[in-house]
Amino acid sequence: MFEGCITAMITPFNEKGEVDYKGLEQNVRFQVENGVRGLVPLGTTGESPTISEDERKRIIETVISEAKKVLVIPGTGTNSTEKTIKHSKQAEELGASAVLIVSPYYNKPTQEGLYKHFKAVNDAISIPIIVYNIQGRTGVNIETPTLARIAQLENVVAVKEASGSIAQMMDVIDQLPEFTVLSGDDNMTLPLMAVGGRGVISVVSNLLPRLVSEMVQFALQADFDSARELHYKLMPIFKGAFIETNPIPVKTALSMMGM
């Protein structure tokens, strides 16, 4: 269920600094029309740490309302277990397909602390959970033995891997063959899928959803010649999307496109 190209959506704002909900609706329709498997509002690319509570609710409602036939997986993770549970329950009540939960940032919890955080959230909700491992944003890596424990929790179905280490990703796939591993880094999507990954939660698909979706589908079908051709075609965009802190470049590019 949780495979293919899933877009980590931007949150558009107007010149007054207010969320542009009409623009958000248009972006959702653009994604759905171009074949993505799912949408992640309020992830890193969606600027979740600086979104207000009222904005959060309306953003999720807007995306779910417009998405219709694709998965909607709001980012609900914070560095507070209590707040993460609150956000995750809200997403469940609003009809989300699943939630994406980043490991607690800034706090630098121990591996045992990471497990207990995810277990507390798992026990509080009944929809699927995708774990988000991104040491560069959080300060702590979810080590493979810890992820193996977390993966045993009832609602945990996948991991978005943005550790930057293909060796670690291979360890996860090798040790947890039934567990879904998704790329959290566009540049590493094809290498990860070549060793058993099942897709990507993508930044670049904000711009080029059709091409990223096609690349991922080719890889899922083991047509790596076709996937590799698209990978190298997209490579300049993969690099350009991260020349400054995400989501600055991708939002600038979308603005240039008139989105």
Could you say which of 16, 68, 69, 160 is catalytic?
160
Query: What would the two tokens of residue 181 be?
Result: 């591993």
132, 163 contact by CB (below 8 A)? no
Query: What would the two tokens of residue 96 be?
Result: 């989300």
DSSP 10: -
DSSP 49: G
Burial bucket for residue 45 (CB in 10 Å: 0-12, 13-18, 19+): buried
50, 247 contact by CB (below 8 A)? no
Asked if 132 is an active-site residue, the reply is yes
Asked if 86 is an active-site residue, the reply is no
Within 10 angstroms of residue 165's Cβ, the number of other Cβ atoms is 14
Could you say which of 86, 132, 233, 239 is catalytic?
132
Catalytic positions, please? 132, 160
